Structure 1
Amino acid sequence: MVLEMFLKHHHSTLTNSLFCNICPLGISKIDLPALYVFGDSYVDNGNNNFLPHSAVANYLPFGIDFDGKPTGRATNGRTVVDFIATVGGFQYPPSILGLSEANRKSTRTGVNYASGSSEILSENGRSMHMNVLNFFQQVDLFENATLKDLKSSFSSTESFTEYLSKSVFFIHIASNDLGFTYETTASKDSPDKYSEVLVEELFKQLQRLYKLGACKVLVNNVSPLGCQPFNINTKNHTTSCVEEVNERIIIYNKFLFNSLTKWQSTLSGSKFVLEDLYKIFQDVYASAASYDVLEVPPFNINQQSLLQYLSLGDIKIDSPALYVFGDSYVDDGNNNFLPHSAVANYLPFGIDFDGKPTGRATNGRTVADFIATVSGFQFPPPILGMSEADRKTTRTGVNYASGSSGILSENGRSMHMNVLNFFQQVDLFENTTLKDLKSSFSSTESFTEYLSKSVFFIHTASNDLGLTYETATSKSSPDKYAEVLVEELFKQLQRLYKLGARKFLVNNVSPLGCQPFNINTKNHTTSCVEEVNERISIYNKLISNSLTKWQSILSGSKFVLGDLYKIFQDVYASPVSYGFKDVNTSCCVDGNGARILPCAQNVAPCEDRKSRVFFDPFHPTESMHFLWARRLLKDSSVCSPINLIQLMQA
C-alpha cells in the first residue's frame, strides 16, 4: 500500500522531475540509464548478508512473497527501489557487496549500497555492536569500487559523465540516527541541534556524490517512527503513536525540506527532489482510520461515547469554549434572523438533525457540532438567537457564522443579500459576547485566562473566492486578490487576538471547482473546474505561508491550519476507502427537478446521503462534516503543525 502511494501519488515529484514526462494517461520514454540506491534497512537488498555481526533479514519469513526466497530485504517481498527499477526497465539494483569486479565493470543499470541499521553518523550500529555500512562508507564504495570499475567500460569520459548526470540517486537515510542511536546516546543534543548536525553531515556526502558526477538526487525524509509497532509497544504514549519520537522526526524533516532548494542552488546543474515519506505513512494511517467514517455517530451521543467512537480514549480537553466564525459551512442559524438572507431553515435541511431544520446548510450536524461534542459542550448557539441573559451565562462558546458571508464587505451584495461578513462577526464578538460575558467572571484575570484557552474556529473566504470574485465588475489578478483577502483576514484575527483570543484554527478553502454547482454550470475539461481550483490554491498557499509569521508576530498565540482542501482531495482520490459512493452530485433536488440549484422546500432528498459528499450543490453532507472533524481532531497531515486535540490541550 505504501509503495503504491509512493509510485502513484507522488509521480509529480518523482517522475516528472527526475525520470521523464509521465502523466496519468501513460508513460513516455524514460530517459534514465541507472538507479543508485543508498540508505538503511528500508532499501537494503542484501549487503548486510556479507557483513559479520550485522543486522540481517536473510531468513524466512522475510522474502516469503519474493518468490519464497529471503534475500536480505527486511520485508515480505519487494522494496520501493525494486518497483522503481522495474518502472525504469532495469533489473533490481544488485547489492554492491555481492558483486564481483567483473560484475561491477558491466552493471550499468545501477547498484544498491544500502545497509540495514546504518545511517548518516558513524555511531550507528555501535550501540548494538553491529557491523554496518554508514552513509559515508556507502559513498566510499560508490567512489572506490563502482566508479573506478565502471568508468573503464565507457568509450569516453564525456559519455560516462553524461551517464552519471542522468542517473537517479535514491537516498533513504536518518531513521536510525533519529531512533535507536539518538535514544541510546549518553549525552544528547536537543532535537533541533541534532537535526542540524544530521542535515549538515548528509549534505557533505551528497556534495561528494555531486562532485563524483551525480546530478539527480531523490532524498526521502523520515517516516513517523513513533507509529511503528516496536515503539507503540515499548514506550509510553497517550495517543495512537509515540508523539515524542514523531516530534523529533518532524524537526529533522523540516530542516531537510528547507535545505533542498538551497542545495540545488549551491550545486549548479543538480536536481534535488524531496519524497515526503512521512506524509505517505500519515495518509495511510488517516485512510485506514477513516474506513468507518460513514458510521456517523448517533445524534444524541455524549462526549465520552464520541471520544471512544473516535478512538481518542479518556483524554482531558483543556479548552473551556469553542467560538465559531465563518460562512454557510458552519452557520447554525444566524441567517434565520437576517432579512433577505440565504437561509437553510426548511426541510430537507436538518432531516438528520432530529428531523428539524435549524439553519445548518446540511442534512445533519456540522464540523463545529462534532468538535463541540468532543469538547463536552452544547452546540455553540447562533449569536443572533441569544438573549442578553443567554449571552451572560453561555460559557462554552457561540457561533457567529453567516451563510454567503466572507472576508470582504462585498459578499452577499451581488444577490442583494443581508449577511454578516467576517469583520461584522468580530464586531458581534466584541460588542455583545465579550461585554456581556465578562461580567459573569470573578476577575479580569480569570476572564483573560478563559479566552486564552478557548478555541477560535474560522472557516471563511469560500464566497470571496467564488461568486463574489466571479461577479466583480473589476477583477484583480488571482494573486493580488488572494493577497488582499489574507491581509483583511489578518486584520480581523489581530482584532480577536487583542480581544483575548490565543488559539486559532484557520481552515483553508475546499476545492470549490469540484462542487456540483460549478461542475454543472461552468465549462471544464477535467472532472472539476480547474480555473476555480487554481484560484483557491493560490489563496491557500498564501494562508499556509502566513500562519507561522502571524504566530511569531502575535506573542503567545497558536495558529493551526485546517487543510480542508486536502481533506476533500483525499476523498476524491479514494472515495471508496472513505465509504463514499457519490462525490459530485447533490443529494437534494431543486425547484426544476434537477440537482444544480438550492434545495426545493419539503422535497425528499436522496436516501443514500450517508455515502454522498454533497447534500446540496454547494454544501457537504453530515458524513463529510464528520470526516472533516475527525481528521482535524486526530490527523496532523491535515491539521498542522499540531492537530486540534493537541491545540485544545496546549
Structure 2
Amino acid sequence: MAGTTCEAKTWLLVFALSLVVSTMQLHDFCVCAKPQVPCFFIFGDSLADNGNNNQLSTLTKANYIPYGIDFSDGPTGRFTNGRTTVDILAELLGFENPIPSFASATANSSNLLGGVNYASGAAGILRATGKHAGNNISLRRQLNNHRITVSRIADVLGSKRLAKERLEKCLYWVEMGNNDYINNYYIPSIYPSSSLYNPKQYAALLIQNYQRHVMKLYSHGARMFALVGVGQIGCTPNSISVYGTNGSACVDYMNDAAQFFNQRLIALVDQLNTDLLDVKFIYVNSYGMGSGDPTIAGFKVWNVGCCAVNNNTGQCVPNKTPCENRNEYVFWDSFHPTEALNLITAKRVYNAYDPSDCYPMDISSLVQLFGLGGISAQIADLAQYWEMKIWLVVIVACLITNMQQQHYCVKAEEQVPCFFIFGDSLADSGNNNRLATLAKVNYSPYGIDMPSGPTGRFTNGRTTVDILGELLGFTHFIQPFATADGTNNILDGVNYASGSAGILEETGRHLGENVYFFRQLQNHRIVMSQMGEILGNKELRRRHLNKCLYWVGLGSNDYINNYYSPQFYNSSKIYTPEQFASLLIEQYRRRILKLYKYGARKVALAGIGRIGCTPNSLSLHNTNGSACVDHMNNAVEFFNVKLLTLVDQLNTNLTDAKFIYINSYGMGGGDPTAVGFKYWKVGCCAVNKVGQCVPSEKPCENRREYVFWDSFHPTEALNKITASRIYSAFDLSDSYPMDVNQLIQMPSDFSPL
C-alpha cells in the first residue's frame, strides 16, 4: 500500500510539473509569417534607443560611424555595431522590420499600428538622470509620447474602442534603471542622490516612481508587460576603469546596488500580477543573464570595448576603425553590448535558456498565453488558463496537506551518495547536547513529534534538512558529528550544524560554547580523513565527495546573537548594516572556497530569513506599526544580496562546481493563512528568558497551525513546506539559478555551462 501511495503521489507530481513546464517554459515557437502580437511598444534607454536622441542637444547620441557598421542602414542612432536586443526580439516575434523610433514614426501615422520605440539614451526613471550629458527623454516623457501615439492610433482606426482592443493585444517592453545608477547615483560630483539615500533607499525611491509610470501605461491600455531588471553595471569597461575593482572581477558594490532594485522589481511583478487580474507582467533577469563564463559563448574580450572610446563619454570615437573580430567582444563601447551579445540575450528573453532568465515565464510563453486575442477579447481562453493554474495549485496544496499527515515518500535509492550539512540551530540535530551552552534542547517538549523524542533538534519534529534528506532518498537521518563514530555511516554524510553558531567566531558566545563555521569545516576535515581510510585512497574519496550535496545555512545568529545584541557585542557600533554584511560575506566566501578545496561541487547556500518577524524580535524590538521589525529584515537583505552576487561569482570562477542560492527570505513572505497557519506572532511552547521552550511544560496541541515552535524556530509543519520548496521550487524565486532537484541531477564532472 505504501508503494502504491508513493507511486500515485509521484505520478500526480510529475503530471502537475509536466503541465507547468509544457505550458510555461518549453515551447519552441517559430517566427511566423504573421507577427505573434499586432504591436510592440518599447520604453527604455540607450540599450534600446534607435534614433530618438539624434535630433536632441546631447552628447548621448550615436548617429555616426563606427556605430551601425554592421547594420543595413548604417548609423541610425543605435548604440551598438548592429541590431539591439529589442530589434532582434521584434524579429523573433515575427515583425519584418524594426519597430520605428518615435522621432521617425510621427511622420507616418500608419507606421504607429505596429508599435513604436520611445527609448532614449541616458534616460532614466528619474527626470534628473543623465541630464549632465544634455537632453534626453525620461520615462515620464516617453509615456507622454505614448499618449500622443494612442490618440493617433484611435484616429487611424476610427474609434477609441478599436484602439483599445488593439493596444491590449500588444507587447510592452520597459527597460529603465541602468542610468539612474550609472548617470546619477554614481556621479556624486553632479547628483546628490548618493548622499541623500543609501542603496536600498534609492532602490525603493526608483521602484516607487517606476510603479507609478507602469500604472499610467496600464491606464493607457497596456496588458502584456516585460519589465527588465538592471544588469551588472559594475562589470562594464567604464565601471572597471573609473571605479576599480579591488581585486574582484567587477565593481561589486555597484552590482549589489543593482540587485536591490531587481529584488524590488520582482516583488513589484508579483504584486501587479496579484492586484491586476486582466494583465500579465514578467520580469526579465538581465542581471542573471549577464553572469557566467563569456568564453562558453565564444567571446574572448569582455573588459574593453571593440571601438576606441572618448574618455569623457565612453562612446566610440567618430570615424575610427573598430576591431574586426566583433563577434568575440562582449562590449561595443564602454557601456553597450555588441550585436553578438544582443543576439544571445534576445533569444534567452524570447525562449528562456535557464528558468531564471524570466519570471514567471518568458516572452514566447507570454504572447502564446495572452497575445493571440488580447486579454479582454479572449476571456474564455483566459478563464480556461486560470482554471488550469488553479487546478495545479489545488494539486500542490493537496500534496502539501498529504505531506503534513504522513512522511514523504522517497525513492528506494539515494539521489546523492552523501549529504553534508553546515549550519546553526535550524539544522542542529544534537551537536550542542554535550556542550556547555544554554543553546541546547535535548529535553521535552522538543522532539515531541519525533519517534525518538528529544534529540537536540530545535523544533517539535523534523528540521528542514531532515526532510530534505528524505526527499533526497535517505532512509535515515544524517547523523550529527557529535555521535559519528568514523564507521561506514559517515559515507552517507554528516551534520555539523550547531545552535547559536555563526560565520564569525564570537557570535553566540554569550550563551556558551558552539561550533562556529570554521570549526565545522575542521570537523569536516576529520571526517574526510576517516573516509579516506574507509575507501582506501584519496582518489576514491575525491570522487565520492564530488558527488555529494553540501548545505550551508549560516548567518542568522550573526545578526540575532551578535549585531542585534549590543549589550554583549560591539559590532553594531563599529559597522553599518551594509558594512557588517560585507564583513560576513568576506568571511563566508573564504570558508566556501575552503569547502570547495575539500571536494564540494554541488553546494546549496541558504540566505537569511526574516529575522525581524520571529516572536523574539517582535517582543524585544519596536515594530513601529509594521508587521515585523523592518530594520532587522532590511539588514539581512544586505547580506542576501551579497550572497546572491557571491553565487554568481562562484559559478563564473569555479566552472567544475555549481552553487545555488536558497531564498529563505522570499519563502518567508506571503500570507501564512494560505497554507493553513493561524498563529505566527507567538510560538507553540511557553518560553524561558533565552526564547527556548520551558523544560517539560506542555506545548500547544494544534502544532500544525503554528508557524513558530518557540521564539525563534519553525515548527515541523513549516519545515515540511520549506523543504518541499527547496527540493523542487514552487516559485522560480525560491532558488537561484536552479533548485536542489535540478542541482543533484547535474553531472559530477561539470562541463562549463
TM range (shorter): 0.5 to 0.7
- Which residue, 432, 439, 444 being the options, matches 2:533? 439
Contact 1:563 1:639 in 2 (8 A): yes
Q: Report the CA distance between 1:137 and its aligned residue.
A: 7.5
- Which residue, 497, 504, 515 being the options, matches 1:408? 504
Residue 605 (structure 1) aligns with: 699
Contact 1:459 1:508 in 2 (8 A): yes
- The one-letter code sitting in structure 2 at the alignment partner of 1:566 is G
Q: Report the CA distance between 1:254 and its aligned residue.
A: 3.7
- Which residue, 618, 624, 630 being the options, matches 2:718? 624
Describe the shift of the 1:161–1:489 C-alpha distance in structure 2 as closer, same or farther (beyond 3 A).
closer
Q: Does structure 1 residue 291 correspond to structure 2 residue 391?
A: no
- Which residue, 463, 478, 495 being the options, matches 1:380? 478
- CA deviations over 1:469-504 (Å, ceiling 9, x no partner): 122224311111111100111111111111111111
2:718 counterpart SS class: helix
Rounded Cα–Cα distance in structure 1 between residues aligned with 2:361 and 2:93: 24
Q: Report the CA distance between 1:609 and its aligned residue.
A: 1.4
Rounded Cα–Cα distance in structure 2 between residues aligned with 1:611 and 1:427: 39
- The one-letter code sitting in structure 2 at the alignment partner of 1:501 is A
Contact 2:35 2:93 in 1 (8 A): no
Alignment of 1:58-77 (within 5 A): none
Describe the shift of the 1:253–1:482 C-alpha distance in structure 2 as closer, same or farther (beyond 3 A).
closer
Rounded Cα–Cα distance in structure 2 between residues aligned with 1:556 and 1:479: 31
Contact 1:458 1:504 in 2 (8 A): yes
Contact 1:349 1:360 in 2 (8 A): yes
- The one-letter code sitting in structure 1 at the alignment partner of 2:650 is W
- CA deviations over 1:240-266 (Å, ceiling 9, x no partner): xxxxxxxxxx9985479769xx99x98
Rounded Cα–Cα distance in structure 2 between residues aligned with 1:455 and 1:339: 31
Q: Report the CA distance between 1:304 and its aligned residue.
A: 3.2
2:99 counterpart SS class: helix
Describe the shift of the 1:467–1:138 C-alpha distance in structure 2 as closer, same or farther (beyond 3 A).
same
- CA deviations over 1:387-406 (Å, ceiling 9, x no partner): 23x3x442111100000000
Describe the shift of the 1:358–1:287 C-alpha distance in structure 2 as closer, same or farther (beyond 3 A).
farther
Q: Report the CA distance between 1:562 and its aligned residue.
A: 0.4
Contact 1:172 1:221 in 2 (8 A): no
- Which residue, 634, 639, 642 being the options, matches 1:539? 639
Describe the shift of the 1:418–1:281 C-alpha distance in structure 2 as closer, same or farther (beyond 3 A).
same
Aligned length: 433
Q: Percent of aligned positions with the same letter in both sequences?
A: 26
Residue 6 (structure 1) aligns with: none
Q: Report the CA distance between 1:582 and its aligned residue.
A: 2.0
Q: Report the CA distance between 1:554 and its aligned residue.
A: 3.0
2:701 counterpart SS class: coil
Q: Does structure 1 residue 450 correspond to structure 2 residue 456?
A: no
2:479 counterpart SS class: coil
TM-score (normalised: structure 1): 0.58
Q: Does structure 1 residue 136 correspond to structure 2 residue 216?
A: no
Residue 410 (structure 2) aligns with: 303
Rounded Cα–Cα distance in structure 1 between residues aligned with 2:226 and 2:284: 12
2:552 counterpart SS class: strand
Q: Report the CA distance between 1:55 and its aligned residue.
A: 9.2
Alignment of 1:213-612 (within 5 A): 220=226, 253-254=285-286, 278-280=358-360, 290-292=396-398, 293-296=400-403, 302-304=409-411, 318-354=415-451, 356-377=453-474, 378-388=476-486, 390=487, 392-415=488-511, 417-430=512-525, 432-470=526-564, 471=566, 472-473=569-570, 474-525=573-624, 526-569=626-669, 573-591=670-688, 597-612=691-706
Rounded Cα–Cα distance in structure 2 between residues aligned with 1:143 and 1:622: 66
Greater shift, 611-620 or 552-561, is seen at 552-561
Rounded Cα–Cα distance in structure 2 between residues aligned with 1:502 and 1:277: 23
- The one-letter code sitting in structure 2 at the alignment partner of 1:291 is A
Rounded Cα–Cα distance in structure 2 between residues aligned with 1:364 and 1:511: 22
Alignment of 1:166-185 (within 5 A): 172=171
- The one-letter code sitting in structure 2 at the alignment partner of 1:461 is G
Describe the shift of the 1:512–1:287 C-alpha distance in structure 2 as closer, same or farther (beyond 3 A).
farther
Q: CA RMSD in A?
A: 4.5
Contact 2:286 2:357 in 1 (8 A): no
Describe the shift of the 1:568–1:54 C-alpha distance in structure 2 as closer, same or farther (beyond 3 A).
same
- Which residue, 140, 145, 157 being the options, matches 2:109? 145
2:421 counterpart SS class: strand
Rounded Cα–Cα distance in structure 1 between residues aligned with 2:479 and 2:633: 32
- CA deviations over 1:218-251 (Å, ceiling 9, x no partner): 95069xxxxxxxxxxxxxxxxxxxxxxxxxxx99
Contact 2:502 2:558 in 1 (8 A): yes
Rounded Cα–Cα distance in structure 2 between residues aligned with 1:221 and 1:317: 41
Describe the shift of the 1:429–1:121 C-alpha distance in structure 2 as closer, same or farther (beyond 3 A).
same
Q: Report the CA distance between 1:612 and its aligned residue.
A: 1.8
Residue 11 (structure 2) aligns with: none
Rounded Cα–Cα distance in structure 2 between residues aligned with 1:337 and 1:54: 72
1:584 counterpart SS class: strand
Q: Report the CA distance between 1:300 and its aligned residue.
A: 5.7
- CA deviations over 1:527-578 (Å, ceiling 9, x no partner): 1001101110111111111111123333412110000000001xxx222332
1:335 counterpart SS class: coil
Describe the shift of the 1:252–1:404 C-alpha distance in structure 2 as closer, same or farther (beyond 3 A).
closer
Contact 1:324 1:401 in 2 (8 A): yes
Rounded Cα–Cα distance in structure 2 between residues aligned with 1:164 and 1:451: 60
Rounded Cα–Cα distance in structure 2 between residues aligned with 1:487 and 1:450: 29
2:708 counterpart SS class: coil
Rounded Cα–Cα distance in structure 2 between residues aligned with 1:414 and 1:133: 69
Residue 17 (structure 2) aligns with: none
Rounded Cα–Cα distance in structure 2 between residues aligned with 1:348 and 1:591: 13
1:491 counterpart SS class: helix
Rounded Cα–Cα distance in structure 2 between residues aligned with 1:161 and 1:499: 54
- CA deviations over 1:354-386 (Å, ceiling 9, x no partner): 260111101111111112112222211110112
Describe the shift of the 1:288–1:465 C-alpha distance in structure 2 as closer, same or farther (beyond 3 A).
farther
- The one-letter code sitting in structure 1 at the alignment partner of 2:575 is S
Rounded Cα–Cα distance in structure 1 between residues aligned with 2:733 and 2:608: 16
- The one-letter code sitting in structure 1 at the alignment partner of 2:499 is G
1:323 counterpart SS class: strand
TM-score (normalised: structure 2): 0.51
Contact 2:284 2:357 in 1 (8 A): no
- CA deviations over 1:266-298 (Å, ceiling 9, x no partner): 8xxxxxxx9x99434699899666524344356
Q: Report the CA distance between 1:466 and its aligned residue.
A: 1.7
Residue 145 (structure 2) aligns with: 164
Stretches of structure 2 lacking an aligned partner (at least 5 in a row): 1-23, 25-32, 40-86, 114-136, 151-166, 174-219, 229-281, 292-331, 337-348, 350-355, 363-385, 747-753
Rounded Cα–Cα distance in structure 2 between residues aligned with 1:545 and 1:124: 32
- The one-letter code sitting in structure 2 at the alignment partner of 1:172 is L
